[in-house]
Structure formats: structure tokens, C-alpha cells
Amino acid sequence: LFAGQTDFLKGVVAMSGLPAGDRIEVCFAGRSNVGKSTLINALTGRKGLARASNTPGRTQEINFFTLGGDSHYLVDLPGYGYANAPVAIVEKWQRLLKSYLAGRQNLRRAFVLIDARHGVKSVDEEIMRLLDSAAVTFQCVLTKADKVKEKDRERILDQVRGALAKHPAAFPEIILTSSEKGDGIAILRSIIATLE
């Protein structure tokens, strides 16, 4: 699947702009700056495909990427929990994010990215509750594993496991990734490839 063609399709700012839901779709959600765009680049092996940046709030649209020619969509969502964004903008993103997550029939799985140094925060819980109520299966991906010391790893994993246990839509397996070092990328690719 990932050996095939990947391309940017479009950035969407309103529900009316969504492409037809005629393909298998997975999305990447998470706090601003957690590494969503970088992960999409690592998965597809194309560095500049999704725009990554040090500036939180870089991705402000729902960005659609085609994968495997025309069989799948990868979706890069705007980050949440960015404290410095203007309230009106935050509310607009949140509305769009909520409508998308709750209303997308072909969405097979949401990957909820969590910074491996910080664990699950209250804004992450909010998204998880939203996914529960929309009955969208979600799976946690810990990012920036290269920045976590070995001795802190189990503690964070326990915290994340504890948080997931409260959510009926959570898929139990947690994937530890580093887009920098490549950890977990092959596993994540194979998970996406097995979704039907």
C-alpha cells in the first residue's frame, strides 16, 4: 500500500469541501505540535508531503492525502489545544473537527497522537470522548519516542493505558513511534494496510 502513489489531494475548511467518502480513510488527530504532519511524512516516505513546523497550529485545514493510488485517504487534522490561537479560530476548528469525526462514514480508524514525554492530557480525553460517542475506533500513537528516556517509558505507557481503559472506542494496542528514528513506522503502516 505504501509503496504506491501518495499525493496531496486538498485542504478542507468546511464540511461541504470533503471529498466523497468512497475510500478507506484513517485520520491523525492530536494536540498541536505533537507530530501529526511529520508522522504522515514518515509513513509515506515523503518528507515535504504534509507541512510540518515548529510553529504550533501549522495545520489549520483538514488535509487529505491519497494513498495507494485511489484506495485510501490519509487525513491530517488541525491540532487542538493550542493556547495562543485566537478564540474565534479555535472554535471554528473545533466545530469542523467535531463534524468531521462524528460524520465521516468511511473513517475506519482515528489515530490519536500523544507526545510520549507528556502522556494523555485533558484535551486528549475530550477528543477520545468525542470518538466514543461517534463510535469511531481510535488507537493511540505515542510520538517523539526518541525524546523519552528508557526509565520514563513504562510510567508514561501505564498512564496512557489507564486513560484508554475508560474509553469504549479505544483500540487497546499502543504504538510507540519516532518519526525521527523510524521506530514504529513499519508497524503503523501494516496496521493501516490491514484495515478494510
Applying CB under 5 A, the residues found at the interface with Mg ion are 36-37, 58-59
**Block residue for cell numbers 507530530:** 35
For residues 18 to 37, the per-residue mask of contacts with ligand GTP, x marking binding by CB under 6 A and - elsewhere, is ------------x-xxxxxx
Q: How far is the CB of 39 from ligand GTP (least distance, A)?
A: 7
Distance CA 41, CA 152 (A): 27
Binding-residue total with ligand GTP (CB under 6 A)? 23
Cβ closest to ligand GTP, residue 6 vs residue 179: 179
Q: Which positions from 78 through 107 interact with ligand GTP, judged by CB under 6 A?
A: 79
Q: How far is the CB of 22 from Mg ion (least distance, A)?
A: 25
Binds 180, which of Mg ion, ligand GTP, none (CB < 5 to 8 A, cut-off by type)?
ligand GTP
Q: For residue 50, how many other CB atoms are within 10 A of its CB?
A: 23
Q: Which of 2, 24, 57, 185 binds ligand GTP (CB under 6 A)?
A: 57
Binds 146, which of Mg ion, ligand GTP, none (CB < 5 to 8 A, cut-off by type)?
ligand GTP
For residues 119 to 158, the per-residue mask of contacts with ligand GTP, x marking binding by CB under 6 A and - elsewhere, is ------------------------xx-xx-----------
Distance CA 194, CA 196 (A): 6
Q: How far is the CB of 119 from ligand GTP (least distance, A)?
A: 16
Residues in the site for ligand GTP, rule: CB under 6 A? 30, 32-38, 52-54, 56-59, 79, 143-144, 146-147, 178-180
